[in-house]
Amino acid sequence: MGNIKDFSAIVLKKTAFSDELFMLRVLPEERIKQPNPGQFFLLKSWEGLDPLLFRPFAPVLAHEDGSLDFLIKVVGKGTQIIRSCMEGAKVKLRGPCGNSFPDPAGQRLILIGGAVGIAPMVFSYMNYEKKLPVKLILGVPGAGWDDFCESDIFSNLDLEIFSDDGSIGRKGTPLTLFEKGEIGEGDEIWACGPIGMLKALGTAIDAVKENQIYVSLEARMACGIGGCLGCTIPTKWGPRRVCADGPVFKWAEVSWNEL
């Protein structure tokens, strides 16, 4: 039997970074299996039939008391309702879902997150910082992301920020690092974020070993346990389920041109 289950949790805290970006800390009401880096949960804060399904989110942090932090960007109906959640409210979760990043084989771990794609990267950072050198790279659009970039999520982390408009950190995207030769042999890259950014990681292949680039992908989901086959992405081996075979894939196995 799998470790995934539906469970309730209480909202302990909600922190708004902007109108569109907030963090939710939830405490499960029962013992659950702790997630591994790369794993995610399905979450909903409604009981009724509309919206119908859970929404997938990757935790940013798992705390010792069992609580989980989620970083959520408001994009549509579901995330709008979740944003209106008050402290003390009950939410439903399903998880932990998906595979996870395998232990790194490189000598240094470069974790790249585009916007909210940073969530599983912070989680991975915490898991590996004592085991090998880890560097966190965050790419954001710019204006409106200041409070988030300055938040204490990132305090004491080896973090470098890039923004499209140059208003926060360096101007450009995390991929600028490859052009400047700041990433090289021996580095292992894990990334999560917009599909364009992940696809463009292919430009890093000259610098690092092809099989040392991993990406965490997104797809629309219904079951989260590999049953409905609704969340597949094209790979070299045919369609694979993001919720069960992923969300972590080797960069080289994804058929990027068919995505």
Ligand X SMILES: Cc1cc2nc3c(=O)[nH]c(=O)nc-3n(C[C@H](O)[C@H](O)[C@H](O)COP(=O)(O)OP(=O)(O)OC[C@H]3O[C@@H](n4cnc5c(N)ncnc54)[C@H](O)[C@@H]3O)c2cc1C
Segment contacting ligand X (CB under 6 A): 12-20, 53-61, 181-189, 194-202? Answer: 53-61
Using CB under 6 A, which of 78, 96, 106, 193 touches ligand X?
78
Planar angle of CA 219, 221, 224, nearest 5 degrees: 115
Which of 75, 35, 84 minimizes the C-alpha distance to 55?
75
Rounded to the nearest 5°, which phi and psi values hold at 220? -65, 140
Rounded to the nearest 5°, which phi and psi values hold at 95? 160, -165
Under the rule (CB under 6 A), what is the footprint of ligand FES? 221-224, 226-231, 241, 243-244
Using CB under 6 A, which of 110, 119, 122, 161 touches ligand X?
119
Nearer to ligand FMN, 157 or 219 (CB): 219
Beta strands in 29-121 (DSSP E): 40-44, 55-57, 59-62, 68-73, 90-97, 108-114
Q: Say whether residue 86 binds another protein (CB under 8 A).
A: no
| Three-state SS at 178 | helix
Considering the complex, what minimum distance in angstroms separates the CB of residue 256 from another protein? Answer: 14
Binding residues for ligand X, per CB under 6 A?
Answer: 40, 51, 53, 55-58, 71-73, 75-79, 116, 119, 218-221, 247
- Which residues in this chain contact another protein in the complex, by CB under 8 A? 1-2, 4-6, 49-54, 94, 220-223, 225-232, 234, 238-239, 244, 258
